[in-house]
Amino acid sequence: MSMNHVSRREWLASAGVTAAGFAMAPASVYAADTVPNPRGKLGLGVAPAGFGLRSRANSAAKVEMIDWAHENGYGGFETRLPPADPEDARKFRNKLETYNMRAIFDIPLPANDAAVPAFDANVKAASLAGAYGLHAALTQRRYEEFNDFATFWAKFETTKATVARAEPVLAKYKVRLALENHKGWRSLEQAAWMKQLGSPWVGVHLDFGNNISLCEHPTETMNNLLPYIFSAHIKDMAVEPYADGFLLSEVMLGDGLLDLKGMVTTLRAKDPNMMFDLEMITREPLKIPVYTDKYWATFDDPRSPLPGHDLAKTLALVRNNPPRKPVPHTAGLTPEAALKLEDDNNRVSLEWARKNLEL
């Protein structure tokens, strides 16, 4: 597993995120007219990366994630580990069913054979807890992590072996694992891997915007991965040029360049009950340095090409889609102002999804 996979879990742990406890604001932070989970199992879920500031700000006063999500009108949530005790797992499942909600767990995958028993125990607990499925983000940003193709490819092969090691356990408990396109693999690479693995228990957790960083249009990413998609991180994106390439920013739903209605319609046609988690990450824009040699270091091999016409189409996308509104920035903000910005972004995105996407 990549260091990004570990660091995300370390962040979740440091923020107080577990299946039982998630450090978040009370419901009063959000809209006064918010009603609990109005669409039941089709309701929009929540991904922890979009609530990092809020979780850290409230780490001293943990609120159970399942209760917080329900009170704020979400239909599900993504969190770390399921309850280890079987009785606690059953209680967790009962609460999910009472609230008509769903949960996705981020469980560490077995990096070697010695780690399989612990993985088995966690997957069993997730099954008892009524998991919708599992989620894993197994890469960092490819263009930042690697300096040459050989190192990238060796890491990709190691990741494939890790997932293959996990697959029999997933089949044993009939729990699905969805692998996020986390700025590490182009969609055709990930789709070819899923086809080769050929398991109904391993698929894709589609991030709506990540592969723009790899010079793919969001609908192209979705269509290439569509046969394997189990769940999704829904977000909207804005782009703008900078000296070494372009900037990529999460923005409030409806403010970006993505065809959110079309993408959700396509995914629901595949699976009417697919789970969507809101991941409106409030942060500084990400730099995608397509004019630098470092960016291209892992695309100099026929096994993983990035065609020039894809770069050209992406640069045209940037040129033709200036941000509709100023993109979020957190640099220079006080902690209180940054927290308010994150709260506002998530509140408005949730309301937009309800109104326009029936989520």
**Dist CA 227 CA 67 (whole Å):** 33
Strands 236-242 and 45-46 turn out to be unpaired
Least confident of 1-15, 158-172, 308-322: 1-15
Q: Please, what is the average pLDDT of the chain?
A: 88
Token pair in block for residue 166? 């996990």
Q: Is the pLDDT of residue 342 over 80?
A: yes
Q: What is the DSSP string of 102-134?
A: EEEE-----SSGGGHHHHHHHHHHHHHTT-SEE
* Among the ranges given (144-148, 150-154, 355-359), the one the predictor scored with the smallest mean pLDDT: 355-359
Q: What was the pLDDT predicted at 350?
A: 93
What are the structural domains of the chain?
3-236+251-282+334-357 (3.20.20.150)
Evaluate whether 179 touches 104 at the Cβ level (below 8 Å): no
For position 68, what pLDDT does the model report? 80
What tens digit of pLDDT does each residue of 249-285 get? 999 999 999 999 999 999 999 999 999 999 999 999 9
Confidence of residue 105 (pLDDT cuts 50, 70, 90): very high
Q: What are the structure tokens assigned to 63, written together?
A: 């609120």
Position 247 confidence tier, pLDDT thresholds 50, 70, 90: very high
pLDDT of 45: 92
Of 162, 211, 197, which is closest to residue 310 (Cα–Cα)?
211
pLDDT, residue 1, reads 39
Predicted confidence band of residue 57 (pLDDT cuts 50, 70, 90): low
Q: CB within 8 A of 80, min separation 6: which ones?
A: 9, 12, 13, 17, 18, 19, 105, 106, 107
Segment 13-31 mean pLDDT: 37
Question: How many Å apart are CA 15 and CA 66, to the nearest integer?
Answer: 16
Those residues with Cβ within 8 angstroms of residue 256's Cβ, 6 or more apart along the chain or in another chain: 209, 235, 236, 237, 238, 324
Residue corresponding to tokens 């408990």 = 173
State the Cα angle at 204 between 318 and 310, rounded to 5°.
30
CA dist., res. 239 & res. 68, Å (int): 32
Query: How many Å apart are CA 177 and CA 154, to the nearest integer?
Result: 22
Higher pLDDT, 200 or 335: 200
Residue 22 has pLDDT above 50, yes or no: no
- 317 exposed, middle or buried (CB, 10 Å; 0-12, 13-18, 19+)? middle
Q: Kind of pairing, strands 245-251 and 286-288?
A: antiparallel
Confidence band of 58 (pLDDT split at 50, 70, 90): low
- Name the DSSP letter for residue 329: -
| Alpha carbon distance 23, 125 (integer Å) | 22
Strand arrangement, sheet containing 236-242: 236-242, 245-251, 286-288
CA distance 355 to 5: 34
Structure tokens at 325: 């509104």
Whole-angstrom distance, CA of residue 330 vs CA of residue 137: 24
C-alpha 340/C-alpha 255 separation (Å) is 18
Helix/strand/coil for 213? helix
Mean pLDDT of 42-47: 86
DSSP 298: G
pLDDT band at 43 (very low <50, low <70, confident <90, very high): confident
pLDDT of res. 359: 87
| Helices and strands, counts by H and E, the chain | 12, 11
Strands (E), 45-86: 45-46, 76-79
Least confident residue range of 15-29, 68-82, 131-145, 186-200: 15-29
Q: What is the Cα–Cα distance from 80 to 280, expressed in whole angstroms? A: 18
